[in-house]
Structure 1
Amino acid sequence: MARSTADPAAAGSPTRRRPVAVVTAVLLMLPAALLWLVGGIAFVSAIARLQGDAMFLFWLLAVAVAGLCLLVTLMTAAGMWIAWQGGPGVLRVPAGLTFGLLLAALAVLVLLDKVAYEPTMLTPMVVGGLAGTALLLLATPPARRWLDHRPR
């Protein structure tokens, strides 16, 4: 059976398939982006309920934390888009930050001997684990080849 000329492989231009590792890493970072966004909103909401003296200092802190959370959310979303398109591996930055904060939180919990099951700790731990898994997937050879590709 002859190939049609509409088939890109038949025309001589090789098609690039997105590696499964990149697709999985992008999907694993989606909860991290949402958690950063919700965390920033929740922090501002918690500060809004405070009462007392020197509230402007707390509002400065709330704006700073919300800004950082929004920045990491935007970095994650942009990294997911760029990784999907095959650009440089900027998704490693927010994934590394999220995973690093998980490791720091675990180290503090172990050092303070406060390791116990708390339902509120489950979501950040799972999202940190997903970010670590995304980091491992982005380090695989097919993902590296995909991310090192520069579109012309």
Structure 2
Amino acid sequence: MQQISATDAKQSFGHLLEAAERGPVAIEKHGKVKAIMAAPEYFSSVDKRQATLSERKMARLAQTLRENERLIRHQQLAVDLATLPPAQGRQLVKKAMAVVEQWRTHQLCSSDYIDRWQALLELPLPKLAQAMVSDADSWGPALRQNSPWPGLAP
């Protein structure tokens, strides 16, 4: 940002106006910035930048909300897996394994997700329940986004 003294600003106001058209100009008095002068277009572009930032923040918040909803649904399923009779829990896992097998057969998603879900679904029910809601290996949100549990996918 260009800087100019208050005295120079008074004495050459025309030059100050020209400089302000190119970008903000700081006006100093006794070594301290007392004012900033800028063309109106500068402020409208600032408004556009702020609007873009607001849109990005809203998109991030919406994504966080979706991730939290997925986590809650998987937590509910984890409770079911931990508390249902083992035969019912294994039946749920069997359905999820069938979905993972469809993914593999029809190449519906990345093999990373397929392999990770396959490994999780082979765990004992209590460990599976814990792993489904864990973010320990940083794959938790991604795996919950690509969930083989019918009715739980986004």
- TM-score over 0.5 for the alignment? no
TM-score (normalizing by structure 2): 0.34
TM-score (normalizing by structure 1): 0.34
Structure 1 or 2: more strand by fraction: 2
Structure of larger gyration radius: 2
Q: Which has the higher contact order (CA 8 A, sep 6+)?
A: 1
